[in-house]
Amino acid sequence: MAFPARLVVLRKERGFSQRALAELVGVHLTQVQRYEAGAGQPTLDVIRRLAVALSVSADELIFDEGERGPHDDDLKRIFEAVDQFTPDEKATAKDVLHGLILRHQARRWDTTRPAPDRAREPAAKVA
């Protein structure tokens, strides 16, 4: 569903008129009408205010369900499991992921180092 149609659906689900939404967001009524007609696009700040007024995330307002996030089924399952972690466990998982991402980015941009060998030796078995 495109942004204009999604905006109409969310506004109506929340029981807002175009005028009421415009007042909540702090834009003129004609701007909301233009957004819903697909004749104009809101600024990032207006998207943020629309999301707050409609009680959704900016991602929910802009993207289709499943359009963002991991497209790999294994990663989806892993992130679903992480969602069940305690806050401390989630913080640890985030720290580990941030470290891996930084390492990956550093390797991508470091042209003086050879590419890492993709073949890994299997981990030693514990007897």
The predicted pLDDT at position 9 comes to 95
| The predicted structure's pLDDT at residue 108 | 82
Contact status, residue 70 vs residue 79, Cβ threshold 8 Å:
yes
pLDDT in tens, 84-112: 999 999 999 999 999 998 998 888 887 66
More confidently predicted of 62 and 114:
62
Structural contact between residues 49 and 38, judged by C-beta atoms closer than 8 angstroms:
no
Residue 67 tokens, joined: 């359009």
Q: Supply the pTM of this predicted model.
A: 0.57
CA distance 112 to 109: 9
- Tokens 């892993």 correspond to 78
* pLDDT band (50, 70, 90) for residue 42: very high
3 Cβ contact partners less than 8 Å away, ≥ 6 residues apart? 35, 38, 41, 61, 62
Report how far residue 5's alpha carbon sits from residue 37's, in angstroms, rounded to the nearest whole number.
Answer: 8
